[in-house]
């Protein structure tokens, strides 16, 4: 495991200098898992990675520090989507062909219960609002979303949505859940407290993916057959604009540092300005760009190329390719371990998970204020301090509410008196 490159940078602010030692990505030994790994999730409480293996109908549990396989948990037919409930340390796995969701204890890695849902559950999302703690399950065949209580793990209700719900997203600012409906070409907006439909927003043909821009409170929806992206206002749930892109828009990722949205296309990656909602650049690539992941610690975007069997690493500031890393056969899914700063890649046809490590170390100083054109950024290696007497909330990069005293290494946003005050980078 030899780093490809090494450099030393230094930022000077006021009367002290803080050197940053950056090492480029390198590939750690691949992890053998079950047949056709198709989804990944990271357990931030116990530092474990869960891999859903569609072909063998089981879930492989991986130690996030050693990368050793801990156990393989048998699940019903067609294991697919995964989501982690950080508030109660549970992992939920949707079984495509058996129409239920299995709940796994995140500490013991044993099955707690099985919840019956509607036909063909294809997507999961967690509502992490403190008063809610619910899991939403999109059921493709029945055109419904099942709402699961995240404490008792019982089904609360099933919400009728559009035709062919395909993907889910939670907007923590408005506590709303969005479902993109593949066949009816619209997005259903659900109230995350009442679990009722607020509205249905028409989008383009075959909506495939959703991502939330927390800074602008906007939802982006790729329309695969129309070659465009619909931008939805997260407050009014009305369409702001439609962005034309190159053919085959599929996956999305949001760069929180530079406020950009990345979109995979058939033969390219499109980069969009998160303020103006215009295309900044298009990165050509014939390797079949498929899945995306944003690493906020290093401001890099990872793109899995299903046809080329590699991952491209993109600089989130310059939007240029830093390196290309060969992985297993048909990489299709990511998750990120913020403690070790590792990116995990599920290779569906080689029955393996590739592990990419990207190291960043800070050797001097405890707090660094970094200028930003959007907000103040603070790098810390100790506790997160919040001003007394202020109403505040802390969110991770997915928009999940977190307790400041318990945050692991990673990127967080602090809202004070209802406004995003600053970004926090916790390095250890």
Strand, helix or coil at 328?
Answer: coil
Task: Give the pLDDT confidence score for residue 191 in this predicted structure.
Answer: 97
Per-residue tens of pLDDT for the chain, all 428 residues: 333 332 322 222 232 333 333 334 578 999 999 999 999 999 999 999 999 999 999 999 999 999 999 999 999 888 999 999 999 999 999 999 999 999 999 999 999 999 999 999 999 999 987 777 899 999 999 999 999 999 999 999 999 999 999 999 999 999 999 999 999 999 999 999 999 999 999 999 999 999 999 999 999 999 999 999 999 999 999 999 999 999 999 999 999 999 999 999 999 999 999 999 999 999 999 889 999 999 998 899 999 999 999 999 999 999 999 999 999 999 999 999 999 899 999 999 999 999 998 754 332 233 344 444 445 566 665 666 666 666 677 777 655 667 666 667 667 777 766 666 667 766 55
Q: Tokens standing for 298?
A: 């290093």
Residue 178 pairs in a beta bridge with: 169, 189
How far is it, in rounded angstroms, from Cα 264 to Cα 252?
7
Q: Cα-atom radius of gyration of the chain, to the nearest Å?
A: 20
Q: In 10 A of CB 366, how many CB atoms?
A: 11
Domain range summary for the chain, segments of one domain joined by +: 30-361, 368-426
Residue 79 pairs in a beta bridge with: 95
Task: Give the pLDDT confidence score for residue 360 in this predicted structure.
Answer: 45
Task: Give the pLDDT confidence score for residue 132 in this predicted structure.
Answer: 77
Residue 294 pairs in a beta bridge with: 301
Task: Give the pLDDT confidence score for residue 264 in this predicted structure.
Answer: 98
Task: Give the pLDDT confidence score for residue 371 in this predicted structure.
Answer: 43
Task: Give the pLDDT confidence score for residue 101 in this predicted structure.
Answer: 97
Task: Give the pLDDT confidence score for residue 428 in this predicted structure.
Answer: 57
Q: Enter the pTM of the model.
A: 0.81
**CA distances to 61, 148, 357 from 104, in Å:** 11, 14, 27
Sign of the CA dihedral running 332, 335, 341, 342: negative
Sign of the CA dihedral running 386, 392, 394, 397: negative
Task: Give the pLDDT confidence score for residue 424 in this predicted structure.
Answer: 73
Strand, helix or coil at 66?
Answer: coil
How far is it, in rounded angstroms, from Cα 6 to Cα 52?
35
CATH says 30-361 is which class? mainly beta
């Amino acid at each position: 495991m030899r780093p490809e490159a090494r450099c030393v940078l230094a930022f000077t602010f006021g009367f002290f200098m803080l050197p940053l030692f950056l090492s480029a990505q390198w590939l750690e030994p691949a992890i053998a898992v079950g047949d056709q790994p198709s989804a990944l999730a990271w357990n931030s409480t116990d530092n474990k990675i869960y891999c859903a293996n569609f072909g063998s109908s089981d879930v492989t549990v991986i130690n996030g520090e050693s990368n050793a396989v801990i156990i393989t948990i048998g699940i019903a037919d067609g294991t697919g989507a995964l989501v982690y409930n950080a508030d109660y340390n549970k992992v939920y796995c949707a079984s495509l062909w058996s129409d239920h969701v299995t709940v796994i204890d995140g500490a013991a890695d044993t099955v707690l219960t099985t919840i019956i849902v509607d036909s063909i559950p294809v997507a999961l999302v967690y509502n992490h609002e403190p008063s809610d703690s619910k899991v939403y399950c999109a059921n493709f065949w029945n055109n419904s979303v099942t709402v699961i209580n995240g404490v008792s793990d019982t089904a609360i209700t099933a919400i009728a949505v559009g035709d062919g719900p395909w993907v889910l997203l939670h907007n923590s600012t408005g506590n709303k859940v969005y479902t993109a409906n593949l066949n009816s070409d619209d997005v259903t907006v659900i109230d995350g407290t009442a679990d009722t439909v607020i509205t249905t927003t028409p989008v383009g043909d075959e909506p495939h993916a959703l991502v939330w821009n927390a800074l602008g409170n906007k939802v982006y929806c790729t329309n695969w057959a129309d070659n465009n992206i619909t931008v939805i206002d997260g407050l009014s749930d009305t369409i702001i604009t439609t962005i034309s892109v190159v053919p085959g828009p599929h996956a999305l990722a949001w760069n929180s540092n530079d406020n950009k949205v990345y979109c995979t296309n058939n033969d390219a990656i499109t980069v969009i300005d998160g303020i103006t909602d215009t295309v900044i650049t298009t990165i050509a690539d014939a390797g079949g760009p498929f899945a995306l992941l944003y690493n906020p610690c290093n401001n890099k975007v990872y793109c899995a190329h299903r046809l080329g069997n590699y991952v491209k690493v993109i600089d989130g500031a310059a939007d240029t390719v830093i390196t290309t890393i060969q992985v297993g056969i048909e990489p299709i899914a990511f998750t990120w371990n913020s403690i070790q700063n590792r990116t995990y890649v599920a290779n569906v046809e080689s029955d393996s998970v590739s592990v990419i490590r990207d190291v960043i170390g800070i050797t001097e100083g405890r707090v660094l204020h970094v200028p930003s054109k959007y907000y103040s950024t603070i790098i810390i290696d100790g506790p997160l301090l919040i001003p007394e007497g202020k109403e505040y909330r802390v969110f991770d990069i997915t928009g999940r509410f977190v307790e400041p005293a318990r945050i692991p290494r990673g990127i967080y946003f602090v809202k004070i008196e209802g406004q995003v005050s600053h970004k926090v980078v916790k390095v250890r």
